[in-house]
Amino acid sequence: MSKNLSDLSGRKGLSKNLFEEYGNLATETGTPDAVALEKLREEFLVGKSSVYGAVSFYDFLKPENKGKKVYICNGSSCMTAGTQDELHSKISAHYSADEIGEMCCLGRCHENASFHIAGKNYSGNDIDDIEKIKSGNVGTKEKYNVGSIGTPILTSEYGNIKDFYKIFTDCLTKTPEALLAELKDSGLRGRGGAGFSMAFKLESCRNVAGDTKFIVCNADEGDPGAYSDRYIMEQRPHTMLMGMMIAGYITGAQHGVVYIRGEYPESVNIVTEEISKLQNENLLGENIKGSGFAFNFKVIKAQGAYICGEETALLSSVEGQRPEVRVRPPYPTQQGLFNKPTVVNNVETLANLPFIMQHGGKTFAAIGTAKSSGTKLISLDGYFNRPGIYEVDMGTPLSKVINDLGKGFRTPVKAMHIGGPLGGLVPVSKIDNLTVDFDSFAREGFLLGHASVVCIPENYPLIAYIEHLFRFTAHESCGKCFPCRLGSTRGYEMVEKARTESYKMDYTLMTDLLETLETGSLCALGGGLPLPIKNALKYFDAELSEYFVK
């Protein structure tokens, strides 16, 4: 993306944010007014094409979103659960077709039948109260299980703010170098999917000179089936917020940006409220507790784009640019938000920092495995007898998660899509071969990723699920690189034709397409899509062979 556009957007810092202004302009009708956009672009000195390219990309800003009053979840979990056709029928009795839109996903994967009205999410049996919901007289009855095996780092209560933040004020009495050493000892790896060393990121940013630096929390949890970050933001928000403050102290960053997906309105509200509480406790602002360290937060509500879960696309989004993936180097720690040194980590990763700083890096490293230390949150969908969020020590057998925590499947399941749409498609026959850690999944040809679990029931055709994955990627692609933009489209066209007509796909052509996506895509969206499809072709050849010519 343009370095000049980043600088222009950054002139006002975070006090008046271009992307946030797009959302404000869309509040009334669902899409920004053209006249208001013209005034905004003149104020920020950006071109018409840049503004149009950005606004027209997002699901909740694009002109097609005008007049939408209710949104139905089209995520993988709700799709395989088979709840959405009936839900759509019930909603259609109360709203016209042009008032109904789609969202992906609402993080209600544990009970499905998910929908959104007037800034609030609903699921399960909530649809039975649609009249009361429309009048604003009733809230969601959502509930899900929370539990753990091993060390409850993220699922344990932390008490009141004043007592909990003693961890942070104690950190301020130590040097950033000492805290960084603890983080190195912990071996903490990113929980958003890549499993990258957090200490390496913080040290890289710390070593770059600059008066302005940013800690950005990637709370754009877009993987259908995942709702662990949502759990943290809504039930344990201060683990994440303190983690950002500690990261800021280590790197010398004074600004924290929490970029929360628009599909999580409750998370946006709760995090904003909890930040206000920190301000009231004088834990934010200049010279916190006389330490000389300053830190402030900015909460930014996203507008519906899966690609913003990729860190460089997220940064472009915050700047008000079209959220396209950036070519690296330079890396965000060198040149990130507004071209300033920036660390981007996801919610769960940051939420581990308070424990590490309180108990020590070596204590954290003693939990889990040598290469995958600590714990992992897992999201179980509605196909389990006890769906919910569960925390387990890394290295815990997957079978223990499924049978002891989830209490097994409530209906026959043939595969689990673990780690989001770009994660591996795990046949149930492989359950006993896997433990919950990065290396076990990689060794077996899968991906732990966000550790979301979407079940594929025995009666759900895998060919339809493969088409869904191609379509998802085509819709969410930023469009910057040809393999992802074109390859995903050609993929769903082939699969749809084979599924609906007397057409058989050439197996070699499909594998060539997957190889091109895997090796030629700029980011993990196009590059990760081939993994579950390859898994499906490998483990479910008997079911899929009728659609191919080898």
Q: Are residues 343 and 482 in the same domain?
A: no
Where would I find the H helices in 281-429? 311-318, 347-351, 353-359, 361-365, 398-400
Q: Are residues 341 and 194 in the same domain?
A: yes
Inter-residue contact 352 to 361 (CB < 8 Å): no
Q: Are residues 127 and 154 in the same domain?
A: no
Instruction: Name the β-bridge partners of 257.
Output: 216, 298
> 448 in a domain, yes or no?
no
What is the model's pTM?
0.96
> 431 in a domain, yes or no?
no
> 234 in a domain, yes or no?
yes
The predicted model gives 331-339 an average pLDDT of 96
Per-residue pLDDT at 387 exceeds 90? yes
Inter-residue contact 179 to 250 (CB < 8 Å): yes
Q: Which residues contact 135 (CB under 8 A, 6 or more apart)?
A: none
Q: Are residues 113 and 46 in the same domain?
A: no
The predicted model gives 90-106 an average pLDDT of 96
Q: Indicate the Cα dihedral angle 364, 370, 375, 379, nearest 10°.
A: 160
| pLDDT for position 2 | 64
The predicted model gives 477-500 an average pLDDT of 96
Q: Are residues 306 and 330 in the same domain?
A: yes
The predicted model gives 427-447 an average pLDDT of 97
Q: Are residues 183 and 312 in the same domain?
A: yes
Instruction: Provide Rg for the chain, Cα atoms.
Output: 23
Per-residue pLDDT at 384 exceeds 70? yes
> 439 in a domain, yes or no?
no
Inter-residue contact 337 to 321 (CB < 8 Å): no
Per-residue pLDDT at 363 exceeds 80? yes
Give tens-digit pLDDT for 259-283.
999 999 999 999 999 999 999 999 9
Q: Are residues 170 and 128 in the same domain?
A: no
> 529 in a domain, yes or no?
yes
What total number of domains does the chain contain?
4
Q: Which residues contact 356 (CB under 8 A, 6 or more apart)?
A: 182, 183, 186, 188, 363, 364
Mean pLDDT score of the chain, rounded to an integer?
96
Per-residue pLDDT at 7 exceeds 90? no
Q: Tell me how crowded residue 456 is: count the other CB atoms within 10 A of its CB.
A: 24
| pLDDT for position 339 | 96
CATH number of the domain residue 244 falls in:
3.40.50.11540
Contacts by residues 141-147 (CB-CB < 8 Å, ≥ 24 positions apart): 142/108, 142/111, 144/110, 144/111, 144/387, 144/388, 144/389, 145/110, 145/386, 145/387, 145/388, 145/389, 145/390, 146/231, 146/235, 146/388, 146/389, 146/390, 147/388, 147/390, 147/391, 147/405
| pLDDT for position 5 | 82
pLDDT above 70 coverage of the chain, percent: 99
Confidence of residue 192 (pLDDT cuts 50, 70, 90): confident
Q: Where do we find the tokens 């991906």?
A: 447
- From 48, 65, 82, the end of a domain falls on 65
Single out the residue of 90, 99, 95, 79 nearest to residue 125, CA to CA.
Answer: 90
- From 365, 394, 415, the end of a domain falls on 365
Per-residue pLDDT at 9 exceeds 90? no
Per-residue pLDDT at 1 exceeds 60? no
Q: Which residues contact 156 (CB under 8 A, 6 or more apart)?
A: none
> 102 in a domain, yes or no?
yes
Single out the residue of 536, 538, 384, 379 nearest to residue 464, CA to CA.
Answer: 536
Q: Are residues 129 and 79 in the same domain?
A: yes
Give tens-digit pLDDT for 416-432.
999 999 999 999 999 99
Alpha-carbon torsion (54, 57, 59, 63), positive or negative: positive
The predicted model gives 94-116 an average pLDDT of 96
The predicted model gives 406-413 an average pLDDT of 98
> 395 in a domain, yes or no?
no
Q: Tell me how crowded residue 442 is: count the other CB atoms within 10 A of its CB.
A: 13
Q: Are residues 50 and 138 in the same domain?
A: no
Q: Are residues 125 and 154 in the same domain?
A: no
Q: Are residues 242 and 289 in the same domain?
A: yes
| pLDDT for position 193 | 74
Amino acid at 541: D
Per-residue pLDDT at 142 exceeds 50? yes
3-state SS record for 118-182: CCEEECHHHHHHHHHHHHCCCCCCCCCEEEEECCCCCCCCCCCHHHHCHHHHHHCCCCHHHHHHH
Range of the domain at 283: 148-365
Q: Are residues 325 and 346 in the same domain?
A: yes
| Residue predicted with more confidence, 10 or 525 | 525
Single out the residue of 160, 342, 335 nearest to residue 255, CA to CA.
Answer: 342
> 472 in a domain, yes or no?
yes
Q: Tell me how crowded residue 480 is: count the other CB atoms within 10 A of its CB.
A: 20
CATH number of the domain residue 126 falls in:
3.40.30.10
Q: What are phi and psi of 124, to 5 degrees?
A: 60, -125
Q: What distance in Å separates the CA atoms of residue 156 and residue 148, rounded to the nearest whole number?
A: 9
- From 65, 80, 101, the end of a domain falls on 65
